[in-house]
């Protein structure tokens, strides 16, 4: 199995070392590659060199804002192997120590093409638990019910797919990037994770291909730079647009999907 940690961030340099160190400290039973996509942070030369040194040169500096889902899309275009397992990390967050081993065990099941999970929260150094953050987060960190899977009504149900989010690289190519933009053609600014997680659930179309991991593998930071603190309007409006205006996807043809999964099965055996 080949893992690629894809880190995205904007002006997340104060958090970069903790984030990157958390990847380096993963147990070494499995090899991995990585890429950091910086979303036009306008860093100085010295700041860029610092980030490059932490990432051993593997940083993509975007010249203009792409926002979360756009930055992820730019990074994924640099990953060629369609059977790579992409592990998404926000640049201000970090992993717990056994995350990679846990994910690897999940993907030993060749039917799995995607995971999402549960997080712990870190609100240091501000010591503000930001209770308002949870006002619209009553479903995150939880599993979709069998009924939701039967009806494929993920968007109507609500957003549950929190970190650690992982998926096979090939799955991304089934998503039309037009869905990463608002109706006026500008990039979705917030709730961008919904713009690709809903399509992935719909494309896979069967619970046996998706694993919800209840054990926390990821630490999510609450701080003043979080989007809900400075652009809650976009977060709310973009999520409503994704849920109720964009068309849901039809499942991938089952024979085509099985071919993809069989190829992954052969790779697991190698």
Residue 191: CATH number of its domain: 3.90.550.10
pLDDT at 223 > cutoff 90:
no
- Which pLDDT tens digit goes with each residue over 127-145? 555 555 555 566 778 899 9
DSSP codes joined into one string, 109-156: STT--EEEEEEEEE-TTTT---GGGGGG-SSTTSPPPHHHHHHT-HHH
pLDDT at 12 > cutoff 90:
yes
pLDDT at 30 > cutoff 90:
no
Omega before 125 cis (within 30°)? yes
Inside any domain, residue 52: yes
| DSSP-derived pairing of the beta strands 162-168 and 94-95 | unpaired
- Residue 210 confidence (pLDDT): 98
- Which pLDDT tens digit goes with each residue over 100-125? 999 999 999 999 999 999 999 887 65
More confident residue, 78 or 134: 78
Mean pLDDT, rounded, for 72-85: 97
Inside any domain, residue 190: yes
> In this structure, what token pair is assigned to residue 79?
């990953």
Cβ–Cβ under 8 Å, residues 219 and 166 = no
Cβ–Cβ under 8 Å, residues 62 and 75 = no
- Read off the pLDDT band of 192 (50, 70, 90): confident
Q: Is the pTM of this model over 0.85?
A: yes
For the chain, counts of helices (H) and of strands (E): 11, 8
| DSSP-derived pairing of the beta strands 85-90 and 162-168 | antiparallel
Inside any domain, residue 270: no
Rounded to whole angstroms, the Cα distance separating 170 from 167 reads 8
CB half-sphere exposure, 39, CA atoms < 13 A: 22
Report the number of distinct structural domains present in the chain.
Answer: 1
Q: Radius of gyration over alpha carbons of the chain, in Å?
A: 18
Q: Which domain holds residue 164?
A: 3-265
């Amino acid at each position: 199995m080949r893992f690629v940690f894809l880190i995205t961030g904007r002006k997340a340099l104060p958090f970069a070392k903790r984030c990157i160190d958390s990847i380096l400290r993963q147990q070494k039973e499995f090899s991995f590659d990585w890429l950091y996509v910086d979303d036009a942070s306008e860093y100085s030369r010295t700041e860029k060199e610092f980030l490059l040194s932490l990432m051993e040169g593997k940083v993509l500096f975007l010249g203009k804002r792409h926002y979360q889902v756009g930055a992820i899309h730019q990074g994924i275009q640099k990953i060629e192997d369609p059977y790579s397992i992409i592990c998404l990390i926000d640049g201000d967050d970090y992993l717990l120590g056994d995350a990679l081993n846990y994910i690897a065990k999940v993907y030993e099941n060749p039917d799995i093409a995607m995971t999402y999970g549960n997080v712990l929260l870190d609100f240091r150094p501000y010591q503000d638990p930001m209770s308002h953050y949870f006002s619209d987060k009553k479903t995150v960190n939880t599993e979709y019910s069998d009924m939701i899977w039967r009806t494929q009504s993920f968007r109507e149900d609500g957003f549950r797919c929190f970190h650690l989010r992982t998926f096979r690289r090939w799955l991304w190519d089934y998503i039309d990037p037009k869905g990463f933009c608002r109706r006026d053609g500008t990039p979705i600014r917030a709730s961008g994770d919904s713009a690709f997680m809903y399509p992935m659930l719909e494309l896979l179309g069967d619970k046996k291909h998706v694993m919800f991991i209840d054990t926390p593998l990821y630490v999510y930071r609450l701080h003043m730079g979080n989007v809900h603190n400075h652009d809650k309007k976009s977060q709310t409006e973009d999520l409503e647009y994704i849920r109720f205006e964009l068309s849901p996807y039809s499942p991938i043809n089952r024979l085509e999907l099985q071919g993809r999964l069989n190829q992954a099965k052969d790779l697991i055996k190698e």
